[in-house]
Amino acid sequence: MLPISIICHANCEPPGYLCTYFDKRNISYIKTNAIDNVISEIDLDMISGLVFMGGPYSVNDHHPWFETEMQFIRSAIDNDIPMMGVCFGAQLISKALGAEVRAASHMEVGWHRIVVDTSRLASVQTLNLNDSFEAFEWHEDTFTIPEGAIPIFMGSGGIENQGYLYDKILTMQFHLEMTEHMVYDWLERYKNCMPKPSDTVQSAEQITERLDERLENLHTVADKIYDWWLSMVNK
């Protein structure tokens, strides 16, 4: 199996548990930072899939590296490359697929329940998950569902669109890759720009409550979703 290329957008938003998952399964991967503007050097014939991680940006901002990455994503779509997008990465893919990405009505920060709907998936695409699970959120933008995509993940906190499947492309607005270090790092890094706690924004105390248990449950869900995506990569 050729390596999977992981595209990062900020040092503080690494692949985290995703790398642990790959390492446990002896899956090779290559990490690239999109803002270094070298993403166009990736040879699509030499990778088996692409993962686009999160970042403290909006796809509606203007950055020197942004259009290069959008062109790269469109090329990967045209070449039928399996992809997975996380948060900002999901928004990038959504925009490349023609969806709208806009500011959400409110931020989502902390642990929120994600509802799973697999009713429209073909039998060969069966995703073995419970009807809902708790995932980590930290975002203020949202996306519409691209034409032809199958909505799979729905939010329970007012932001409905949380993820979809488009052919071999899986997007998730939430974060499965969180580690203990990442949680505490984000809380410290963004403490001065967090809104006041609300129904959709949790305090640091709420976020870190039962953290070990929550991360263990999160990674159990991550294993199932990553396994599912890899089954598409290996086709």
Q: What is the pLDDT of residues 134-145, one digit of tens each?
A: 999 999 999 999
Distance of CA 182 to the CA centre of its chain: 15
**75-84, 86-95, 103-112: least confidently modelled range:** 103-112
- What does the H/E/C string look like for 39-55? HHHCCHHHCCEEEECCC
Q: What domains does the chain contain, in order, with CATH numbers?
A: 4-233 (3.40.50.880)
Per-residue pLDDT of 166-175, as tens digits, reads 999 999 999 9
Helix (H) or strand (E) holding 70: helix 66-78
pLDDT above 60: residue 123: no
Mean pLDDT across the chain: 94
Confidence of residue 78 (pLDDT cuts 50, 70, 90): very high
Q: What is the pLDDT of residue 44?
A: 96
Asked whether residue 62 carries a pLDDT value surpassing 90, the answer given is no
Which of the four pLDDT bands, split at 50, 70 and 90, describes residue 42?
very high
Separation between Cα atoms, residue 215 and residue 57, nearest integer Å: 25
**213 vs 41: which has the higher pLDDT:** 213
Average pLDDT in the 74-88 region? 97
Q: Answer yes or no: are the C-beta atoms of 126 and 146 closer than 8 Å.
A: no
Quote the percentage of the chain above a pLDDT of 90.
Answer: 81
Residue with tokens 């609300």: 198
- Give residue 124's pLDDT band: very low, low, confident or very high (50, 70, 90): low
Report pLDDT digits (tens) over 170-207: 999 999 999 999 999 999 999 888 888 999 999 999 99
